[in-house]
Amino acid sequence: MPSYRQLIASAIVVLLLALLPLAGSRYAIDLTTEVLIYALFALSLNVLIGFTGNISFGHAAYFAIGGYACAILLTTYGWPLALALPAAVVLAGLVAAVVGYFCVRLTQIYFAMLTLAFAMLVWGVAFKWKEVTGGDDGFTGIKMPAMISHHIGYFYFTLITVAAGIAALWVICHSAFGLTLVAIRENSVRAGFIGVDTRHMRWAAFTVAGTFGGLAGALFGMYHRGMYIENAFWTESANVLIMVLLGGIYSFIGPIIGAAVLHLLQTFTNQYTPYWPTVLGLILLVIVMVLPDGLIGLARRVRGRGGRP
C-alpha cells in the first residue's frame, strides 16, 4: 500500500491538473496532455529497465501498435472507443508477449539489439502496409467520439486514463511480482537459486511494459488525430529511453519527471533553435557524467539520502 502521504500527494497533483483548464490556455492544456502521455510511456518502459534490469531499444514498437490499432479500429472499422481502446492495448500486449518470448532468451546488449530489430520490423510493417496504415503518409483523420473530440474533453480523458494506468503500474511494481523483478535486476543468478524462473518473469515484465506502452500510444494517436511511421522509428525508442534515464531508473516516479522535463525542454528548445538533437546530446552527456541515477537520484543526494530504490 502507498503511504498516506504518497496517496495525498498524488491526489493533490491530479486535482491541480484537473483545475488546469479553468486557468490555463489551450497551449498549456495541450502541452500537459502530451506530458501525461509521455509520462505513462516512460513509466511503462521503466518496468523493464529500472525494475527488471533489461534495456529495450525498441519500446516505440508497442507505442505505435497501440496507436495505430486504436486509430484503425476507431476509423476504418468504426468501433466504439470502449472497444477500440482496450483492443488496441491488448494487441500491443500480445505483440509484446510474442516478441518478448524471443528477446528474453538473450540478455544485455543482445537483448537490446533484438528489441531494436523487432521494432524496426514493426516500423517496416507500418511503412509497407499502406492500405491499412497509410504508409509514409501516416494514418490521418481519426474518427473521434464526440465526447472527447474537444481539447478539454480529451485532456480530462487523458488525465483519467493516465492516472489509472500509473496507479496500475504502481501496484504491479510494488507487488510481490515487482519485488521479485528487482531481485532479478540485482542478481538474476541468485534469483534462479531461490526458485524463480527468471526468464518467465522477464517475459512477463516485457509484456506488461508493452501493454502499457500500447495504452500510451493509443492516447497519443487520438490526441494527434493521426499516427505516423516516425512514431515507430528507433529515434522514438531512444527518446523514451532518455526520458527514463533522465528521471532516474531506480525510483517509481523518476520516469514521470524525466518525461515532463525532456518534453518541455524539447518544446521550448524547438521554439528558439533548430538544434534540439544537439541539446539532447548535451542532456545525455549530463546524465552519463553527473546524473547516473537521474534527477530523482540527484534530489535524493541533495536531501542527503542514498540512491537506494
Partner 1 sequence: MTAMLHIDGLWKTFAGFVATRDVSFDLMAGETHAIIGPNGAGKTTFFNLITGHLRPDKGSVSFEGRDLVDLPPQKIVRLGIARSFQRINIYPRLTVFENVQVALIAHEGQQWNLFRPGRSLHRQGTQELLELVGLAPEALETAGELSYGKQKQLELAIALASQPRLLLLDEPTAGMSPQETGETIASVRDIVKARGLTLLFTEHDMSVVFGIAERISVLHHGEIIASGAPDAVRNDPEVKRVYLGEHAHG
Catalog residues that contact partner 1 under the rule CB under 8 A: 1, 171-172, 174-180, 182-183, 186-187, 189-198, 201, 204, 250, 306, 308-309
Round to whole Å and give the CA distance between 55 and 291.
18
Phi, psi of 233 (to 5 degrees): -75, 160
What does the alpha-carbon distance between residue 294 and residue 290 come to, in Å, rounded to a whole number? 9
Instruction: Give the integer Cα–Cα distance in Å for 302 and 278.
Output: 28
Query: Smallest distance from the beta carbon of 283 to partner 1, in angstroms?
Result: 25
How far apart are CB 298 and partner 1 at their closest, in Å? Answer: 17
Largest CA distance in the chain: 57
Q: C-beta of 169: minimal distance to partner 1 in Å? A: 10
- As beta bridge partners, residue 140 has 226
Give whichever of 153 and 307 is closer to partner 1, judged by the CB atom: 307
Alpha-carbon gap, residue 185 to 292, rounded angstroms:
17
- The smaller minimum CB distance to partner 1, of residues 20 and 196, is found at 196
Between 202 and 263, CB nearer to partner 1: 202
Cβ 60 to partner 1 shortest distance, Å: 25
| Set of cell numbers at residue 180 | 521479485
Nearer to partner 1 by C-beta: 171 or 285? 171
For the bound state, the minimum distance from the C-beta of residue 176 to partner 1, rounded and expressed in Å, comes to: 4
Give the nearer residue to partner 1 in terms of CB position, either 1 or 22: 1
Q: Which residues contact 129 (CB under 8 A, 6 or more apart)?
A: 135
